[in-house]
């Protein structure tokens, strides 16, 4: 079940909202039960065969958390921590990489290949589980005595299968004490509609352009402009797809009294690769920083060791995204780029607009590698972008330009911090009439977007989120 499906929007979401917000019912145990019941149903709808693996993982985490807190022996604490982490890493390896490794071996020694289905969102909930036991081990948070509350933390349906990666310390108190005001509910619904619009009205349309051009690339010589149109379309698509999901997750959580941290901060206004990754998938970047980079020594070590630490983070980031050489290459390229920036190897500086343009070109090219099915196809597509065919454009290029010009313009505008611009304008021009007018325009706009999304969802086809694959 996905947030942008008619089943979720017309049946699942209204049901959980009505039962959770029953008038006069304020019992926190009842509210947690409702959320837990619907969260289990949400995952069971799409992945019934994998629900047992999550249950086993949660039980092991709960047991290890209790034992870590109860024992005073540091050796035993490490033992329980190792048990929990070993389980999660073993499951990640088995489900995400064993098929890939069997395919590589098959090409070398002609052994049978394995095709193991990947549980939706396994990387996200596995990282949440690992962060919980590590934080209990570090005494950052007390262990959760109730296995049902720990299950709710892991399986809470807004963030279960595509993030953001929520840490237990950020929601521990909210498990027992949370209040949903009208302002919270309005803010949450507004954020959900914005995220839904990103997915349905932008990402899904951009996907048709990107997919058509990427799928045709192995069979035809793409003109330069056509190749760039496909790369730009995917760059916009993956941003609106994933940030849209994050917006919906944050908005839904707010409707139930949970406050999640932001996962995106307008990454396409970045003027360096380092800044881009401070703004993109913030919860994953923070996870690798706190649970890999800093424990390895961070940047408080000698330069060779620091380079090694940075390389480990980017290697694991590539591996985390999937079992394909393209992801590994993608992570290695970002390691080199970030190392290049941090060591200030450029002999001169560029003006800010040019730094932004260079950064976006680099990011766009990296997304090509991310999307390609193989390294060969990635390099072939990149070659087309930089003139392999010797043709700048053709009839198909003009067709795509006509179809995409307006869409790209809207997408580019939506990548800007429009909310901050509007808030700053209203602060600089204080007027009750202006503020009220802005509220009316905003509310009417949200209603229009919601109606348009519902019409599109009801009449459209199933379109999963990109990050469901991770």
Helical residues (DSSP H) of 415-461, grouped into ranges: 418-428, 432-459
321 a catalytic residue: yes
| Count of beta carbons in the 10 Å neighbourhood of residue 329 | 18
Pick the catalytic residue from 26, 110, 281, 321: 321
Going by C-alpha positions, the residue among 190, 137, 155 that lies closest to residue 46 is 155
SS3 for 322-333 is CCCHHHHHHHHH
| Count of beta carbons in the 10 Å neighbourhood of residue 302 | 9
Give every CB contact of residue 39 below 8 A, 6+ residues apart in sequence. 152, 155, 156, 157, 160
Query: How many Cα atoms occupy the beta-carbon half-sphere of 245 within 13 Å?
Result: 27
CA distance 240 to 77: 42
In Å, how far are 130, 136, 169 from 62, measured between CA atoms? 11, 11, 15
CA distance 114 to 102: 6
Query: How many Cα atoms occupy the beta-carbon half-sphere of 443 within 13 Å?
Result: 7
CA distance 198 to 239: 9
Q: Are the C-beta atoms of residues 81 and 68 closer than 8 Å to each other?
A: yes
Residues recognised as catalytic = 321
């Amino acid at each position: 079940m996905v947030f942008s499906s008619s089943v979720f929007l017309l049946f699942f979401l209204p049901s959980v909202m009505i039962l959770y917000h029953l008038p006069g019912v304020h019992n926190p145990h009842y509210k947690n039960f409702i959320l837990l019941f619907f969260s289990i149903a949400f995952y069971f709808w799409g992945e019934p065969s994998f629900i047992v693996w999550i249950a086993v993982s949660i039980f092991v985490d709960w047991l290890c958390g209790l034992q870590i807190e109860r024992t005073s022996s540091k050796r035993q604490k490490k033992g329980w921590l190792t048990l929990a982490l070993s389980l999660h890493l073993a499951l990640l390896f088995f489900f995400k990489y064993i098929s890939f490794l069997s395919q590589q071996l098959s090409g070398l020694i002609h052994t049978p290949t394995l095709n193991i289905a990947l549980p939706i969102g396994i990387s996200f909930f596995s990282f949440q589980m690992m962060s919980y036991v590590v934080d209990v081990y570090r005494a950052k948070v007390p262990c959760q005595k109730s296995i049902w509350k720990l299950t709710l933390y892991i399986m809470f349906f807004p963030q279960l299968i595509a993030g953001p990666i929520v840490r237990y310390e950020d929601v521990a108190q909210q498990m027992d004490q949370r209040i949903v005001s009208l302002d919270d509910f309005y803010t949450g619904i507004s954020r959900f509609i914005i995220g839904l619009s990103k997915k349905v009205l932008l990402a899904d349309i951009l996907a048709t352009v990107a997919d058509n051009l990427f799928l045709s690339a192995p069979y035809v010589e793409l003109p330069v402009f056509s190749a760039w149109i496909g790369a730009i379309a995917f760059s916009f698509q993956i941003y609106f797809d994933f940030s849209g999901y994050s917006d919906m997750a944050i908005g839904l959580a707010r409707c139930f009294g949970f406050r999640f941290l932001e996962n995106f901060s307008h990454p396409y206004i970045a003027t360096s690769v380092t800044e881009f990754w401070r703004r993109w998938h913030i919860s994953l970047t923070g996870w690798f920083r706190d649970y890999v980079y800093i424990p390895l020594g961070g940047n408080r070590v000698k330069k060779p060791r620091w380079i090694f630490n940075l390389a480990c983070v980017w290697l694991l980031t590539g591996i985390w995204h999937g079992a394909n050489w393209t992801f590994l290459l993608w992570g290695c390229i970002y390691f080199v780029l970030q190392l290049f920036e941090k060591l200030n190897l450029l002999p001169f500086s560029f003006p800010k607009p040019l730094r932004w343009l260079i950064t976006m070109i680099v990011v766009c090219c990296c997304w090509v590698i991310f999307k390609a099915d193989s390294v060969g196809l990635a390099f072939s597509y990149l070659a087309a972008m930089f003139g392999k065919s010797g043709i700048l454009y053709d009839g198909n290029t003009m067709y795509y330009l006509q179809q995409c010009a307006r869409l790209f313009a809207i997408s580019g505008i939506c990548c800007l911090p429009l909310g901050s611009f509007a808030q700053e304008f209203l602060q600089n021009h204080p007027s009750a009439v202006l503020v009220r007018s802005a509220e009316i325009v905003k509310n009417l706009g949200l209603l229009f977007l919601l109606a348009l999304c519902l019409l599109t969802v009801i009449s459209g086809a199933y379109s999963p989120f990109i990050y469901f694959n991770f």
